[in-house]
Structure 1
Amino acid sequence: MRVLLVSRSHADEAYLHKALRENAHSLQATHDLHDARYVASLDAFDAIVIVALEPDAVATLCALLPEFGRQPGMPAIIVVLAQATAPERACILRAGADACLVQPYSFIELHERMVALHRLAAREGAAGDGAASMSLRLDALTHELVEDGKRVTATSREYLLVECLLRQANSPVARDQLIRYAWPDRDDVDPSSVNLLVSRLRRKLAGKSFAAQIETVSRYGYRLTTSSATR
């Protein structure tokens, strides 16, 4: 999943950054809600996690959250507060949050809520989604690529790259978009790194006789297709 983390708390940011990365999510972080709103308008995210521990956090969020609800792809919005009364949590939810947690919170619960919301959104959008025609899918628990009972183990970067391609299945995806998604922790990624990763994935898919293929789109990037889509 593509996740935007918003937090002014260095401790919470470091903890969530590490935990989300370890769960194979493509992560981008920012410290300011206004910056986060701008970042979310430029790139599609599956979830936005907002850690707001300031005393005036509820009032600020109730004013700004409707803006996040209008972002591309309608990402799931999860808010973490230092403390809040029931009416304050209700205000956060009415403003557009999909979940509101209060410290101390469980990362496992936060993560499972985020995944469940994403699963629901994917199910609702499957009818018009190009990925619906793909037999290839990702197993988030084992970090494997799965197709008709066949399985291939993927590294974290391989998993993220395929996830990015699946978001626009059967359509070209720009190389720089793949870099932002699969290398969110690095600013200076050589395009040859993408080529090497794709070559490795192609060997893995071919070795298991997967129908899914990663095609090169000249001077642009790559496209994930099925063998039937290429005929």
Structure 2
Amino acid sequence: MRVLLISPARSESAFLGKALRESAHSVQATDDLRDGLYLGSLEPFDTVLVVAIDEHAFKSLDGLLPSFAKLPGSPAVIVIMSAVTARERAKALRAGADACFVTPYSIMELQERMRALRRGAVAAPTDSEAHQTIRLEPATRELVEGKRRICIGKREFLLIECLLRQANLPVPRDELIRYAWPEKESVDPASVNLIVVRLRKKLEEHGFAAQLDTVNRYGYQLRAL
């Protein structure tokens, strides 16, 4: 899942970023609300996670929530607050938040809410999605095709997730790098090639029908047959 994490609190940002990445989410982080709004306008995210546990961040968020709710791709907007009243939480929900958490909170519950909101957003799949025979299982980090299952690594999971968003269409190498290595400014293209080779070997060894093709001088394409 592609997550935009906005947290002025460094300790909270480090904790959430680590927990989300360990669960194979692609996380783009910033410490400024307006920067986050700008990043969200550049490419679609599944979830915008805003940490507003100090008074300044909470006040700044007040007028920006409607804009986050209107970002491309209609991401779920989840706000983490501290020491707020029920009225203030209700106000955030009316302004565009899909869910509010109050510290202390459970990271497990937070991730389950993210998945539930994502499932609701894709309840009516497109024709191409409806005919896909390959899918990812986030809870077990497995690639599934019919009765076949493969356990894959975190980078492999993120790479396949990015490709599945545009199944049967070529995806640029730069886009794959941003998705699978969001925490790094520079990534050697050979790293992508290495993961693709590993994934191809696993698909072949486990008898998957789906194929991972190279698009010369562009990127890769996942053919979900």
C-alpha distance after superposition, 1:188-214 (max 9, x if no partner) = 211111111111101100111111111
Q: Point out 4+ residue stretches in structure 1 off by more than 6 angstroms.
A: none
| TM-score, with length taken from structure 1 | 0.94
2:128 is the alignment partner of 1:130: yes
Q: Which residue of 2 aligns with 1:60?
A: 60
| TM-score, with length taken from structure 2 | 0.96
**Cα separation, 2, equivalents of 1:188 and 1:99:** 34
What is the CA-CA distance between 1:137 and the residue it aligns to? Answer: 0.5
User: Residues 6 and 49 of structure 1 are in contact (CA less than 8 Å); yes or no, is this contact kept in structure 2?
Assistant: yes
What is the CA-CA distance between 1:54 and the residue it aligns to? Answer: 2.3
**Cα separation, 1, equivalents of 2:155 and 2:193:** 12
CA RMSD of aligned residues (A): 1.2
**Cα separation, 2, equivalents of 1:218 and 1:99:** 43
What is the CA-CA distance between 1:61 and the residue it aligns to? Answer: 2.2
Q: Which residue of 2 aligns with 1:173?
A: 171
The one-letter code of the counterpart of 2:122 is: A
**Cα separation, 2, equivalents of 1:26 and 1:57:** 24
**Cα separation, 2, equivalents of 1:170 and 1:132:** 13
Q: Secondary structure of the equivalent of 2:169?
A: coil
The one-letter code of the counterpart of 1:46 is: D
Q: Which residue of 2 aligns with 1:218?
A: 216
**Cα separation, 2, equivalents of 1:197 and 1:47:** 26
The count of corresponding residues between Structure 1 and Structure 2 is 225
User: Residues 58 and 92 of structure 1 are in contact (CA less than 8 Å); yes or no, is this contact kept in structure 2?
Assistant: no
The one-letter code of the counterpart of 2:99 is: A
Q: Which residue of 2 aligns with 1:47?
A: 47
User: Residues 8 and 57 of structure 2 are in contact (CA less than 8 Å); yes or no, is this contact kept in structure 1?
Assistant: no
What is the CA-CA distance between 1:132 and the residue it aligns to? Answer: 2.6
C-alpha distance after superposition, 1:20-78 (max 9, x if no partner) = 01111011100011000000011111101100122244443231011111111111111
Q: Which residue of 2 aligns with 1:139?
A: 137
- Note the 1:13-92 alignment, pairs <5 A: 13-92=13-92
Identical counterparts, % of pairs: 55
Q: Unaligned regions of 5+ residues in structure 1, if any?
A: none
The one-letter code of the counterpart of 1:163 is: E
Q: Which residue of 2 aligns with 1:11?
A: 11
User: Residues 7 and 31 of structure 1 are in contact (CA less than 8 Å); yes or no, is this contact kept in structure 2?
Assistant: yes
Q: Return closer, same or farther for 1:36/1:134 CA change in 2, 3 Å cut-off.
A: same
C-alpha distance after superposition, 1:95-138 (max 9, x if no partner) = 110001111111111111111111111223x1x26333210000
